[in-house]
Amino acid sequence: MAFKAAAIQMCSGVDPEKNAADMARLVREAAAQGAVYIQTPEMTGFLQRDRKAMRAVLRDEAGDIIVSTARSLASELGIHLHVGSTAIAVEGGKIANRAFLFAPSGRQICTYDKIHMFDVDLDNGESWRESSAYEPGSEARVADLPFGKLGFAICYDVRFPQLFRTEALAGAEILTVPAAFTRQTGEAHWEILLRARAIENGAFVIAAAQGGVHEDGRETFGHSMIVDPWGRLLASAGGTGEGIVLAEIDIAAVAAARGKIPNLKNAREFSLDAVTDAAGEVAA
């Protein structure tokens, strides 16, 4: 089955209401161009480094403006709308980095909480500790949709291939990686990682990204893209600002790629033997 997919690139600020309005405008544009599955980036609702200011606008699912706006858009436009993620207040005072998938009826199909926390120390003093505020998820998810099976991930998850392999083995034909990749890591790894996840699983990868300099001072890499199961780049956005990336997705390409290189079937269990050179000899 073939369908048109869209990845929405945003440069979300600190005001959830403005971000919701920007999302709605871009989603309507993508739907007008024929997209029936539309994905927004990680942290669609707001990007805010200041934890106190962040908590001042944080809401639970029932009160979140991105959730309510997305639900209405899906119903209005008759599309599957995938909010790549937004920050949601959860029990215990922490935050979930949570994705939402809505059906054309507006029904919420499922959610996915980002599993892997971005706790890193990069060059030039750039450091992040998501685990200090966010509650990590613990469950991978695959949604069986009319046009194919969709596997979920968010941003830093892309560096953990076992998540994508688990979803592919569960039947996922489309893997999703909405993100807010830093410019530093994006320049080095973004496209390589997305194409690798597509190739090694014989699956489409759709990745909507944040792109540009944000109100809280951070800079994200952008380059939202859609990759086919052979690792070919079907469409890509620029590095900064808003954009809509569109591509025709033919699910038959998944079976074709997996038929040529059936590595999902060919994988074997193995053990690890760690060998120690007790003599400690050093070659001359």
Q: Which residues are catalytic?
A: 42, 114, 155
CA distance 20 to 123: 33
Handedness of CA 87, 183, 241, 229 (dihedral sign): negative
Whether the Cβ atoms of residue 82 and residue 90 lie closer than 8 Å to each other: no
DSSP string, 27-73: HHHHHHTT-SEEEPPTT-S-----HHHHHHH---GGG-HHHHHHHHH
CA distance 14 to 92: 23
Helix (H) or strand (E) holding 15: none
Tokens 């469950």 -> residue: 139
CA distance 205 to 196: 10
Which residues contact residue 227 at a Cβ distance below 8 angstroms, ignoring those fewer than 6 apart? 194, 195, 198, 204, 205, 207, 233, 234
Task: Collapse the DSSP code of 236 into the 3-class scheme (helix H, G, I; strand E, B; otherwise coil) and give the result.
Answer: strand
Q: Which one, of 12, 32, 30, 66, lies nearest residue 222 by Cα?
A: 12
CA distance 10 to 26: 9
**H-assigned helices in 33-174:** 51-57, 65-77, 161-169
